[in-house]
Amino acid sequence: MLVRLGFALSLAILVATTPTFAADDSYPAATTAVIMVDPYNDFISEGGKIWPRVQPVAETVNLVPNLKRLVEAARARGVHVVYAPHRRWREGDFADWKFPHPVHQAVAKYQVFADGTWGGEWHPDLQPHTGDGVADEHWLSSGFANTDLDYQLRKRGVDHVIVVGLATNTCVESTGRYAVEMGYHTTFLKDAVATFTPAEQKAAIELDYPRIAHAVRTVDEFLGLVE
């Protein structure tokens, strides 16, 4: 009886605290930024080292066209665009690290996003434009940790962030989590992110994102709310 009561109480609390958002939420262009995470050739271009792994999900959500449409419309409406790039691999990056993460080991082994190579360049449709911000490269998942991303946003007067790019449940999710902790109004766009499997994509968007962010929307929903 006590077990059933405890479960019922936990479920009631979970339902009561699930985020709900007013239909008239809006995004002031002057104080909103799209954070573009890791749009490298190795990730999202044909021939990229990681492209075969993300291709099924990326093509299902129409990732690259949606990202292109998003940043073009954002710039046209006065929304800031700031890039949060992953560390481009360089020889010896992790040679003296006491606790290299499995991601670090994989990056070193396969030389993913290698500096000075095509794979470490921006996707041709997602190049930074004049006026966009490009933060320092992050070493693991969060675009904020040990970088100047917060400074790039603050100096532009940004207080609303839209986190998009790669990968849904790693760098995008980590950057969004950190943004909330830093005091930003944070939104994920579920058709502007992709990851390695449909199961990971579904879990992040349906389970994690609503518990992390202030809003989870589509590209069109966000653009329709820009003021």
**pLDDT tens sequence across 74-125:** 999 999 999 999 999 999 988 889 998 998 888 888 899 999 999 999 999 9
Is the pLDDT score of 21 beyond 60?
no
How many distinct structural domains can be found in the chain?
1
Strand 215-217 with 133-134, pairing: unpaired
Let me know if residue 50 belongs to a domain.
yes
Q: Residue 124 belongs to a domain with what CATH number? A: 3.40.50.850
The model scores a pTM over 0.85 = yes
Rounded alpha-carbon distances, angstroms, from residue 183 to 150, 153, 156, 186? 10, 12, 15, 9
Does the residue 144 lie in any domain? Answer: yes
φ, ψ at 143 (rounded to 5°):
-70, -15
C-alpha 45/C-alpha 58 separation (Å) is 11
Taking only the tens place, the pLDDT of each residue in 44-79 is 999 999 999 999 999 999 999 999 999 999 999 999
Task: Give yes or no for residue 9 having a pLDDT over 70.
Answer: no
The CB density around residue 161, as the number of other CB atoms within 10 Å, is 29
Q: Give the integer Cα–Cα distance in Å for 159 and 176.
A: 13
Q: How far apart are CA 173 and CA 135, in angstroms?
A: 17
Q: Does residue 206 form part of some domain?
A: yes
3-state secondary structure of 72: helix
Q: Measured between alpha carbons, how far is 30 from 159 in angstroms, rounded to an integer?
A: 9
Name the residue type at position 64. V
Structure confidence at residue 36 as a pLDDT band (50, 70, 90):
very high
d(CA 225, CA 92): 46
Which structural domain, as residue segments, surrounds residue 136?
28-85+115-223
